[in-house]
Structure 1
């Protein structure tokens, strides 16, 4: 492992004073107390006293003695000199540096104040134990460990050793802990397991791929065949799985090794030392089952989604095609009903009149057509689904065999139905999951069709008859023979009856021969003959297995979405409730959580506070409603409704237009790559990119490679335009190596935190906002390649599929966090996760969104977590305003405040609410998974109902404030417009390949869009830096600059940025001479 891992900044700052010390730091950290003054007073001469004092304050501040006191900042020297009353510090320092006392003073300070050397009294051992613990729990970046070591040594009065000594020590600790991890992972491996793992790396000659290469490729297409292949991949994962002592090994360490195995080349893994190679493969095997199961359920969800959505569309098209027939039949029946309702006709004349006017045959035909075409309420378009039975049977047996579903209490009935489908199905199936919309398709009444099959055609098959009739049985007359079609059991057989029933058979044959149609439902007389001849049970109902299967799949789709049904092991489809705090662990942290969220263990105080706030806001808004020109009441369909006038666009004063033009004119023109390199140099963000496995692995000119790979992703051009074989940092192999080892979600988040912090230091950004307000919105990308991780939405992707990049933007114009979701997932499911999982120094407390994230549960959770959810309310008409006190008088608002909050639902669930909040706050459970379990419309849990009641209080408070305060509405609109501006900039940056995302896998999508987010923040930061400088220069030149105009400037301008590169018109000398360019010797990807 490389020993030299420190950045230039760390080397420059080690055991040295910073270049700039704020006055408050100097006053607090260089203060000499009475005991210090007593020791210093015992020294002879001003130079001796000042030297001693400076040595003492220096070792306290930087943790080491320095050889030259002239390196101490002037402000520190003056502060110390004033305290000990030395008038000429410069000459005193000069005299002190020439004396031998500085060496004796250092020894005395060490003895008197308890400072020891790094090599003394077990210091290395104590520090080593702390660093080992940090490495073991996941903090193993060497630069972070080094900074932690420096801080610990200074705190514990251990003098800092030489920089290379401490650097080697940290490297040694990391190496030791890595070796320990590898040994633990392979400790219990048997010889057969080692052989299986080694087989993963064997490259087959015919395909030039190893088994590991094949397994790493997840599914990309959405079909029953792809689902079967994905399930086979799960079985392969189980064949190589290795049991680990997971309670002893941190999951983050295993995840790091598994990620390396997923991205590294086979040759790179083969070159690893034995212990490390086997540990890497063990980690891969351990994670692979979770990954493969998740991929399988992703494909299943997409297959079922396509299956049901296409059936729904086909049903809709069929309905449209048959509307004319239904209209005609309805018109005929209406004519008949009019005659039936005519009171002037005598009862005994009605039938003859109807037959004369409408016609008997027309009436019969109208009844039959209407019966065939009408649809029951909540129809599930089963007829169209039934055509896809073959598709389902391709994957269903494998799905039930391979995936072991589990469930909570709400999912138990579905689990029982899955078990019935999995078994031999000799018993009656569980019926709990069957709702009214499915029942008439599944439970089939004892009906039978009679069919007069043409005599000159071959005997019909089951499939032909099944398409023709819709009943459970059929009687077919063919060549004077009666055939019995058992359509449930899928059999057709000739009817053999005793002699005594021949007369009944002849009657039935005669009835069928007299039919004018090929097929019809048997009437009562025919049904009685059929029952007598065949022995059918006229009272028995039959379960249509195909319809039952589709019903189970429909319910499974919903249950997986809400995590009522889940699997293990899994990352995305695991039970989100499994990791909630409970038992003694919850009892221990409950007081801390209550303090951090400003809540109490007793719900009474929180409920009283919310009740009072709601009442006061109602009273405030009601008192000023008549003076609010934006609000009026109108009567709509007999109900009083509130109308909120939309905000007018803000006028742009001439001063703002002039300032915007002046600032724009001063911004330097720059190429995008130069901008990225400049910001990297200013912020040092390259330090956030760490090697996936070695942590500190570096290469010459790595910064150039990183910037090139970032731009290749962000501009969506691929790396080809950046490849230069004559520049080592831009060679193809180097860029591929950087992409595989440095650019991933965790490093992108670390680098983003650096950029956000840099933006937060700029005065102009602070004028825009303090970072306490953020907005969330989505940017859509079409994904034209075959992939499971994209979904349809005609509004955004037309006939294709796509993803949504949902991002959080602060009022300082920086992106704080983002998540990529297939299609256009409901904003309310992912909003909370985006907010809670962001890792920057800004902590926004008010989150503004468009109306798509609107939900009572979201309002409740945000309020309880100490945040405020503030969506833009586009239309207030019909909005429900909630109240607690039914007798409270809110004036004109009484017509709105009609809905009553059931606050009594909250106290019984309060402890569970606190437990959920703690688990979310401390990252024990995924926010998206919890939102899925809470937002169930049909059967919400008691916990969900309680949170929703709190959410209704906060939602009503928000709506009232939104009505009352125009500046609040304006602030919301301005913040949301920032998202539009950033997305416009994003479209310009992401210009390659028509702005479409060509990534098949989830990780690739997240990494590429993460790179886009970094480049957007880089452009924002660069623009802000130069805009701040331009504004300062304009002020110096006497240009009128007003703060209200500065607040409206945009950091997303890009007219001065060249994003398309430069074209070269240089030709090689050999081409100028008429020669050909050399042909390529190897195929480049």
Structure 2
């Protein structure tokens, strides 16, 4: 449930009276550092600060806390409504399972009765006698009464949901509306007025709903269920809260003082600044300055690619593809791994030395110095004992926690681990450490055989929540029935995990695709990115193209995805049935400036791609920017689909890269095994630390394996048993059977030289490779 004390805390901080504009002239990075310090300092430490610094720290912390509590309150309000709908759906499913025997009985009776009536009609028999023969009129009446009781609404019934959840809605809804100031675009003025009426009812200014209460914002399907006129107050308040949630998601309404739920206009580069950037040129995105130039180039390209695919379809020259009169069938990919690969690669893993996870991290740290990236927030100094930092990282990565890690390790205490986590382990330090491992992995000689270094993939991995943290999660019915969160991770084609973020298990993965490509900190030059079906949307196609990435997803049931062509391009008979419509060129041209401003805002980091994609995906159909971006995405998706049909290597490459990410998820599942792999942290920051640490440890294992597999390769070559280079591309550095991930976490070789590798294991009988 929404935490009511969050409203109280926010009100107390707001009553201090600090003007938010006092921070307007401070550099955002400096302000962020002050806020981070203020969140960690105790009252005793604050008193020791110089007066000016103390006031600045306190003011920055108060302002940041108000913003954070505002965002948290809106997010929890969103989740509360989601839980209500989920409970209603679960209740309906439970009733369906409970009554399935009776329902089946009524269906069987209907089938027998129908057969008897149809037979009587065809033969000219007595209809009444037919009914009597099957069930009898008295029994039929009882059966009808029982069947009527089994009727359930086809969709969510707002009247039922409002009645069932009114005690909670009555406690939270009016308080939520009274605690914030909302803004709205003109199209939402009726909803804004409804929100004002709810506020007046809560404050006692109104006793009941006025005669002119607006109802136009209520969904048409709900209006039919509610009936004409002004609905019951409970139902009306429920409809207001649900529509307010949806409009806050889309950005049509916003919360004053929020960071995440600001007006869309406030999140983009200011128009005068963008105009200046555009005049100075060029913009930091690879898109032409005018819509006509873009449209001409894409029209020419689309016409050419369509003609090439049609020519191959006519001559049956498409590999593993059948395309005829609109019927598209793509055969499943054949295995490309040679039969001799397993036997040729097995000796490499067989020679890897057995090692503890602690010693593996220490060795990788000696190679890269990644522990030095975890600097102190205030002083910027590195920790005196690198192994203590690694222990804190390992406590998060294995899901063991500080208390139990301190019991399993004789190096640090629980208090020391908590202090290190507070002052040294932060999102930016995790990012710098991971970037150092990624750079080392991409320069490893063997890694060059895994991929070009210019491709990547991303995927979400569900982690169930412990009972005490379940209120912060969501249920994804496609992935289980328990609350969970998802770690959405990006992996390069050289197996380096270079970004990770925590999202709701029910959130769209498509919104997270671009954040990892734009904000990873490593020396990567990603050109092509792959996702599975969950990461696909026309908006992602559009933004990836505008920002210079080739988006190459593996789309489930791609034959059902319709194509879109420009006016004047006429498809042949094989393609024509696949075409759904025409591209709205006028819409793209009308909003091209907005599209460029959006792309520039994302590229320069003014706003994150995930926030904008979530907003765009929730926009009402009337929003021009969202519709224009969808049209651009349709162009790019059509071009991609033609490539997918014609180029089998494109299909193989997408599958190969996505398989790498899925195999890396298996490694992460093996690392994150404590507490049965369930997360018990409530706070998003703590969950983010788990995800970042898990990514970091997985990256260290990948680098260690790659390094030692190269050493094993050279060793076998010296024995005259070289592994053919064409087989090495099928080697994966994700094995972990030789790594001790469990037991006591001891550090056994702190003084080993940084450049020396451990002796390889000498095997008389070759074992198979450790498989993820």
**Superposition TM-score tier, normalisation by shorter sequence:** 0.7 to 0.9
Give the 3 Å change call, closer, same or farther, for CA 797–741 of structure 1 in structure 2.
farther
TM-score by length of 2: 0.87
Q: Which residue of 2 aligns with 1:482?
A: none
Contact 2:158-2:235 within 8 A present in 1 as well: no
> What is the CA-CA distance between 1:981 and the residue it aligns to?
1.6
Q: How does 1:163-562 map to 2 (within 5 A)?
A: 223=1, 226-240=2-16, 242-244=18-20, 245-318=22-95, 321=99, 323=103, 380=157, 382-423=159-200, 424=206, 425-443=209-227, 543-562=231-250
Contact 1:886-1:900 within 8 A present in 2 as well: no
Q: Which residue of 2 aligns with 1:667?
A: 352
Give the 3 Å change call, closer, same or farther, for CA 724–611 of structure 1 in structure 2.
same
Render the CA deviation track for 1:409-445: whole Å, top value 9, x for unaligned.
343322221112222133431111122222244446x
Q: Which residue of 2 aligns with 1:689?
A: 374
Q: Which residue of 1 aligns with 2:769?
A: none
Structure of larger gyration radius: 1
SS in 1 for 2:88: helix
Give the 3 Å change call, closer, same or farther, for CA 342–705 of structure 1 in structure 2.
same
Render the CA deviation track for 1:420-471: whole Å, top value 9, x for unaligned.
2222133431111122222244446xxxxxxxxxxxxxxxxxxxxxxxxxxx
Contact 2:457-2:529 within 8 A present in 1 as well: yes
Q: Which residue of 1 aligns with 2:750?
A: none
Contact 1:560-1:573 within 8 A present in 2 as well: yes
SS in 2 for 1:920: helix
> What is the CA-CA distance between 1:999 and the residue it aligns to?
1.2
Give the 3 Å change call, closer, same or farther, for CA 651–627 of structure 1 in structure 2.
same
Render the CA deviation track for 1:760-803: whole Å, top value 9, x for unaligned.
222222232332111001111111143343112244343x3111
Give the 3 Å change call, closer, same or farther, for CA 357–759 of structure 1 in structure 2.
closer
Q: Which residue of 2 aligns with 1:574?
A: 262
Render the CA deviation track for 1:453-505: whole Å, top value 9, x for unaligned.
xxxxxxxxxxxxxxxxxxxxxxxxxxxxxxxxxxxxxxxxxxxxxxxxxxxxx
Q: Which residue of 2 aligns with 1:1070?
A: none
How many matched pairs? 732
Cα separation, 2, equivalents of 1:288 and 1:841: 34
Q: How does 1:861-872 map to 2 (within 5 A)?
A: 861-872=543-554
Contact 1:771-1:843 within 8 A present in 2 as well: yes
Render the CA deviation track for 1:379-402: whole Å, top value 9, x for unaligned.
525225412222211222312221
SS in 2 for 1:847: strand
SS in 2 for 1:730: coil
Cα separation, 2, equivalents of 1:383 and 1:662: 65
Render the CA deviation track for 1:491-547: whole Å, top value 9, x for unaligned.
xxxxxxxxxxxxxxxxxxxxxxxxxxxxxxxxxxxxxxxxxxxxxxxxxx5531111
Q: How does 1:797-876 map to 2 (within 5 A)?
A: 797-798=480-481, 800-876=482-558
Cα separation, 2, equivalents of 1:241 and 1:1020: 52
Give the 3 Å change call, closer, same or farther, for CA 331–1008 of structure 1 in structure 2.
closer
Contact 1:417-1:429 within 8 A present in 2 as well: yes
Contact 1:781-1:996 within 8 A present in 2 as well: yes
- 876-885 vs 737-746, greater mean Cα deviation: 876-885
Q: Which residue of 2 aligns with 1:649?
A: 335
> What is the CA-CA distance between 1:332 and the residue it aligns to?
12
SS in 2 for 1:776: strand
Gaps of 5+ in 2: 201-205, 747-772
Render the CA deviation track for 1:1047-1083: whole Å, top value 9, x for unaligned.
111111112222224599xxxxxxxxxxxxxxxxxxx
Contact 1:237-1:292 within 8 A present in 2 as well: no
Q: Which residue of 2 aligns with 1:678?
A: 363
The structure, 1 or 2, with the larger RCO (C-alpha pairs under 8 Å, 6+ apart) is 2
Give the 3 Å change call, closer, same or farther, for CA 797–340 of structure 1 in structure 2.
closer
> What is the CA-CA distance between 1:372 and the residue it aligns to?
7.2
1:583 paired residue among 250, 271, 280: 271
1:599 paired residue among 287, 290, 295: 287
Q: Which residue of 2 aligns with 1:45?
A: none
Give the 3 Å change call, closer, same or farther, for CA 595–929 of structure 1 in structure 2.
closer
Cα separation, 1, equivalents of 2:603 and 2:566: 29
Gaps of 5+ in 1: 1-222, 445-540, 1065-1085
Q: Which residue of 2 aligns with 1:563?
A: 251
Cα separation, 2, equivalents of 1:554 and 1:610: 40
> What is the CA-CA distance between 1:986 and the residue it aligns to?
0.9
Give the 3 Å change call, closer, same or farther, for CA 695–628 of structure 1 in structure 2.
same
Give the 3 Å change call, closer, same or farther, for CA 782–593 of structure 1 in structure 2.
farther
Give the 3 Å change call, closer, same or farther, for CA 266–678 of structure 1 in structure 2.
farther
Q: Which residue of 2 aligns with 1:700?
A: 384
SS in 1 for 2:574: helix
Q: Which residue of 2 aligns with 1:214?
A: none
Give the 3 Å change call, closer, same or farther, for CA 409–812 of structure 1 in structure 2.
farther
Cα separation, 1, equivalents of 2:622 and 2:520: 29
Cα separation, 2, equivalents of 1:718 and 1:358: 66
Cα separation, 2, equivalents of 1:889 and 1:959: 14
Cα separation, 1, equivalents of 2:128 and 2:721: 96
> What is the CA-CA distance between 1:289 and the residue it aligns to?
1.0
**Residue 789 (str. 1) matches residue 475 (str. 2):** no
Q: Which residue of 2 aligns with 1:622?
A: 310
Cα separation, 2, equivalents of 1:1009 and 1:316: 33
SS in 2 for 1:828: helix
Give the 3 Å change call, closer, same or farther, for CA 1055–339 of structure 1 in structure 2.
closer
Give the 3 Å change call, closer, same or farther, for CA 722–895 of structure 1 in structure 2.
closer
Give the 3 Å change call, closer, same or farther, for CA 229–562 of structure 1 in structure 2.
same
Contact 2:67-2:259 within 8 A present in 1 as well: yes
Cα separation, 1, equivalents of 2:478 and 2:112: 40
SS in 2 for 1:774: strand
2:668 paired residue among 962, 966, 986: 986
Give the 3 Å change call, closer, same or farther, for CA 381–796 of structure 1 in structure 2.
same
Cα separation, 1, equivalents of 2:451 and 2:615: 35
> What is the CA-CA distance between 1:599 and the residue it aligns to?
2.6
Contact 1:568-1:574 within 8 A present in 2 as well: yes
Contact 2:158-2:238 within 8 A present in 1 as well: no
SS in 2 for 1:974: helix
Q: Which residue of 2 aligns with 1:55?
A: none
Cα separation, 2, equivalents of 1:584 and 1:435: 38
SS in 1 for 2:680: coil
SS in 1 for 2:575: helix
Q: How does 1:732-811 map to 2 (within 5 A)?
A: 732-787=414-469, 788-798=471-481, 800-811=482-493
